[in-house]
Amino acid sequence: MTDQNTPKNDRPLRDDDDLRDLLERMLERASRRQVWLMFIDARGCLGEPLIPMEGYPEDPNALTRTEDLGELTEAQLLVQRADLLREVTSSESVVIVWERIGPPAVGVDDREWARAMRDAAFALRVPLRAQFILHDGGVRLLHLDDIL
């Protein structure tokens, strides 16, 4: 367990349990449907910025078009933008937190988004450290079994 008195950006996160504990203290519980993009620095600490984004699309596989990237899925677009922010902030990896009202059980929407993001990150070689659900009662780490 990490030292609770160390500022969040100076606390090395040795494993996903450390990261989950930190997220639970910071975010507590869900209040709306949104996605958080977070970044881990070279020291293994949570870096800046922490970006909440309301209103992400319902379907991660829906096609969208941008001027700079052309046509791609919503998940690919989100991964591309997260990677751009990761590079700009000189971070090592990306963490995604899916905030939504409800129980900790993994639902269809959670599974579809998490799987699409995992696949897009892999295809685009974006270092995705972990994905979590922020629900009514706290934070749940999404394991591989949760999204298959």
Identity of residue 70: G
Distance (Å, whole) CA 49 – CA 62: 27
Q: The pTM is what?
A: 0.91
Instruction: Check residue 55 and give its pLDDT.
Output: 81
Kindly indicate the confidence band of residue 8, based on its pLDDT and cuts at 50, 70 and 90. low
Identify the CA nearest to 33 among candidates 98, 89, 80.
98
Q: With contact defined as beta carbons under 8 Å apart, do 2 and 24 qualify?
A: no
Kindly indicate the confidence band of residue 11, based on its pLDDT and cuts at 50, 70 and 90. confident
18-55 tens-digit pLDDT: 999 999 999 999 999 999 999 999 999 999 999 999 98
131-99-33 Cα angle (round to 5): 140
Q: How far is CA 31 from CA 3, 48, 52, 67, in A?
A: 27, 22, 12, 33
Instruction: Check residue 9 and give its pLDDT.
Output: 63
57-86 tens-digit pLDDT: 999 999 999 999 999 999 999 999 999 999
List alpha helices for 38-97, DSSP H.
74-88
Kindly indicate the confidence band of residue 3, based on its pLDDT and cuts at 50, 70 and 90. very low
Distance (Å, whole) CA 44 – CA 127: 13
Instruction: Check residue 71 and give its pLDDT.
Output: 97
23-90-76 Cα angle (round to 5): 70
Q: What are phi and psi of 68, to 5 degrees?
A: -85, -25
107-128 tens-digit pLDDT: 999 999 999 999 999 999 999 9
Instruction: Check residue 1 and give its pLDDT.
Output: 39
Q: Residue 36's CB: how many other CB atoms inside 10 A? A: 18
**Parallel, antiparallel, or unpaired for β 93-99 and 70-73?**
unpaired
Cα of 67 vs its chain's centroid, Å: 25
Distance (Å, whole) CA 126 – CA 94: 8
